[in-house]
Amino acid sequence: MFKRPKLIHCPESSAPNPHLSRHFGLLCWNVNKRRRSGPYRRLFERWRQEWNLELLCLQEARLRREAPFLLEGFACYAAANLRIAQRYYGVLNASASRPLDSQAFLSEGREGFFGPRKSFLLQRHRLASGATLLLLNVHGINFRENGQYDRELERMRKLLMHHKGPMIVTGDFNGWNPGRQRRLKRFSELLGLEHLDLPVGGVKHFLGHPLDLIFYRALDPRRFDVPFLSDLSDHNPILVEFTETD
């Protein structure tokens, strides 16, 4: 059954760090309603070592209220847009330090007028410098007209526009036509965001347009990668290591 979205805080042992590291890794991945936890846990553990992974932004994540996140010591919050039995689905953020706050949102439009709404999750995180990072994890509305897509982006922009410091906006934007790409470009320009230029053929494309994107501000992407992992999801993960700019 479809449910109104909820902000869900998963049980966790602790998120011991008072802030993100000066060099922190971020993962963006539509995990396609993952069904096997073991491979994901092993990947996340490996990336924690190789990429100093401290922020995970997942779309189509599956979770139970009573189940902890796959990585021990990570604070985990989800904006659920769908519930089936005791399982929730939606966007999920996990972090090595507890966020200052988290807010869950639903899209105003539904998929195909009668389907579920999409969700997005807004958080603030403390950086090593003491600055505040504003982080938005998005799963964009898909099967609707460009006008509805534009209204959803404008709603997000208004939530972000007053923040003056570092910012990351990431997720599966479902920007699969030229009109949506133009709207995303305008959205990023109005917020002063840069676009992480990912290799062609790495992230998932539809009709020649990338779906998974990372926008950022007042941060420096030191390195990034898009591993090919088609056995786990129809989207490939995006890994990027950010550092604060001086």
Q: What is the pLDDT of residues 105-143, one digit of tens each?
A: 998 878 877 778 899 999 999 999 999 999 999 999 887
Q: Which pTM does this prediction carry?
A: 0.94
Confidence of residue 207 (pLDDT cuts 50, 70, 90): confident
Domains of the chain, by residue range, sit at 6-244
- Comparing 20-29, 213-222, 228-237, which segment has the lowest mean pLDDT? 228-237
Asked if 153 and 182 count as a contact pair (C-beta separation under 8 A), the reply is no
Instruction: For domain 6-244, give the CATH number.
Output: 3.60.10.10
